[in-house]
Amino acid sequence: MHHRFQSAFAQLPAKVQSALAPLLDEEHFPAMLSAGQVSSLLSATGMDEDALAFALLPLAAACARAGLSHFNVGAIARGISGNWYFGANMEFHGATMQQTVHAEQSAITHAWLRGEKSLKAITVNYTPCGHCRQFMNELNSGLDIYIHLPGRAAHTLGHYLPDAFGPKDLEIKTLLMDEQDRGYALQGDALAQAAIRAASRSHAPYSNAFSGVALECRDGTIFSGSYAENAAFNPSLPPLQGALNLLSLNGYDYPDIQRAILAEHADASLIQWDATSATLRALGCQHIERIQLS
């Protein structure tokens, strides 16, 4: 079991511990549960979905990297596929506050980057901030997604974000988590191709500045992230954060990164290169490349 889970695991109900232990024994537990694994946990524990998600929140929060705030937030995004995806807040020493990933963003992009088509609910241990409520309003589930908080009745995002402003106000038809593929021609090695594929599926309807990042770890594992824009602009999540989020949730650490590639248009209306390279260097990665899309 990864050391980050040990304290949280010890506090779980005995039935949950017994059912979950074999999964956490994986060398790199992927911080997600397949629909089949969720079904097995429900059967073994006798819990309903809401109770199980609340019980698992401490494990999600244990994935947080909150070196600045020391305030761990965990979230679990429940996909229409039946898969559950963990998320946690991420902060980066040496980078700006704007590079921070909120727990809800973490869980949502985790699901999106693993191919989930839509979300039906998100469970979180603290009330979503305005930033996260706006980020969720970009989803194809929109204001209908349910938010579950400890000790409260479940409500839709529409309850928490009344009189909302979102992509539909700007006549945007393709929403976050809708299938997108710009069909950029692949080139280079496996890492380069992963960055290009991530750019192809990025969500950037406001700037059309499609971009993707791929990170290669020392053991050869590759994690990629796609740019996710928001109608309110500021809650947009850069592609590097998507890739770092997956890397961290899978139990890797920043020193494991040996090489990174950003794929973007050289003449785009906004450029990811400066922020991407500065953040990666702050995390200790010096081998950073850029591919120009065409």
DSSP string, 30-44: -SEE-HHHHHHHHHH
Residues 22, 26, 31, 35, Cα dihedral to 10°: -50
What is the pairing mode between strands 155-156 and 146-148?
Answer: antiparallel
104 in catalytic set: yes
pTM: 0.96
Average pLDDT of 220-241? 98
pLDDT tens readout for residues 137-153: 999 999 999 999 999 99
Find where tokens 């290009």 sit: 196
pLDDT tens readout for residues 260-278: 999 999 999 999 999 999 9
Residue among 38, 236, 249, 11 nearest 137 (CA): 236
| Active-site option among 49, 104, 116, 138 | 104
pLDDT at 98: 85
